[in-house]
Amino acid sequence: MVFIFYAGFTLFIIGLFGALFFKSITSQIISFQFITVSSLVNFLSFSQILYESPTSILVFVLLSVFLIIIFQFCIILYLYSGLNEPKLKITELEYSLFYFGVAEWLGEK
């Protein structure tokens, strides 16, 4: 039980660092998959070991993962479809997700 929790948490930490420090959107999306997998490991292992796999939590997990994947898919589609400019195809952000320079913060940029 503790091993499963630690394994899930390790996946979460990998995903967290990837999401925070990568500039490439592809890498960020892959990091998000790590967080999703770690959540799934937690949900499914807890439901199997602690609560004898109730149906309600499986419905919750299925619906949630379905919607999260749709959300990711929408973002990827928006980035690669080039709706604003056909050649744009953004694959990399200028900085990491939460980078905030002093000049930008103070509104000088």
Partner 1 sequence: MDLLKTISSYINPTGIFIFLVLGIIILLFFGISKREWIKLFSFILILILFVCAFLINIFGYRISGDFSNSLFTSGTIEIFEIAIVLFFSLVCLCAIFIYNKKNDHFVKIIMIFLFLVISILVLIISKNFMSFFISLVCFLIAFFAISTILNVKSMSAETETAKERKIIFLQAGTSKSVARFFIASLFFTLLLFFGFSILYGISDVKNFLQLYQEIESSGINIILSLIIISIAFYIYLGIFPFQAPYISFSSKAESSSIYLLWLLYFPAGAIALLKFIPIISILNKNSKAGSYILYILLMTVFLSSIGSGIAGLKTKSLKKTASYFFSLIITGYFINMVLLIAGFIKEDRLDWLNIFYLLFIGACFLPIAFIFSHIENVTKKDNVNEISSLIYRDKITGIVYLISLLSLIGMPGLFGFTVKKYYFDVIVNIFNNGLNGLLDIQGWLTLIILIVYFAAFTAICLRLIIVIFIKKSRDAEADVNFKASKAFYILICFFAALVIILGIIGLMETLNPDVSFFGIRISNSAIFIKNLK
By CB under 8 A, name the binding residues for partner 1.
5, 8, 12, 15, 19, 25, 28, 32, 35-36, 38-40, 42-43, 46-47, 50-51, 56-57, 59-60, 63-64, 67-68, 70-72, 74-75, 78-79, 83-85, 88, 90, 93-94, 97-100, 104-108
Residues 8, 43, 39, CA angle at the centre, nearest 5°? 45
Q: How far is the CB of 39 from partner 1 (least distance, A)?
A: 4
Q: Dihedral sign, CA of 48, 51, 54, 58? A: negative
Nearer to partner 1, 3 or 108 (CB): 108
CA–CA gap between residue 38 and residue 52 (Å, rounded):
20
DSSP state of 90: -
